[in-house]
Amino acid sequence: MILTFRYRIKDATTAKRLRAHARAVNCVWNYCGEIQEAARRQEKRWPSAFDLIKLTTGCSALLGLHSDTVQAVCKQFAANRNAARRRPHWRGKKSLGWIPFAPARAVKLDGDAVIYLKRRYRLWRSRPSTARSRPDALRKTRVGAGISACKPRLLRARPTEPVKLALISA
């Protein structure tokens, strides 16, 4: 069972930085879409998530993203494409911000803050979560100005298993 909690980001000035990351994620998404279109035009097989990851290797430094973020975007693109059986829509300026990452390496949950690319994003911790939980993604909500809320998901496991947290910024 997955429990989801919403947390707001305290610092309003981080919205500009998070928006820049979200635009870079949209560039990766649209690049995957271009590769998909090129494969369709040449009547080749659809590139898998592994193929997309290989094609985007090295672009994380140019875009200012973590490599796990780029890989998560490629995996999500392939999953959405396979589910819809067609290329997902382009992501533009009006798309909501979304910054995915692999919980183990790209981001850390440190008390009342999330650390992503050596930057601290402080949270309003309205309800406690376990210390062993890990974030999953940052997302923008439709309500409110800028990137204002974080949404961690808490995977509730058996009592003997560790609890895992996935953070989604809204």
Domain boundaries of the chain, sorted by first residue? 2-13+96-169, 19-84
pLDDT digits (tens, 9 = 90+) for 45-57: 999 999 999 999 9
Q: Where are the beta strands (DSSP E) in the chain?
A: 2-4, 7-9, 98-100, 107-110, 113-116, 119-124, 137-139, 149-155, 164-169
pLDDT digits (tens, 9 = 90+) for 78-108: 999 999 989 889 988 778 778 887 666 777 7
Distance between CA atoms of residues 97 and 2, nearest Å:
22
Q: Return all residues near 32 (Cβ < 8 A) that are at least 6 apart.
A: 52, 56, 73, 74, 77, 78
Whether the full predicted model's pTM is greater than 0.85, yes or no, is: no
73-to-79, 86, 114, 160, 163 alpha-carbon distances in Å? 10, 17, 20, 32, 25
At 126, list the tokens: 């309205």
Distance between CA atoms of residues 116 and 11, nearest Å:
15
Q: What 3-state DSSP class applies to 95?
A: coil
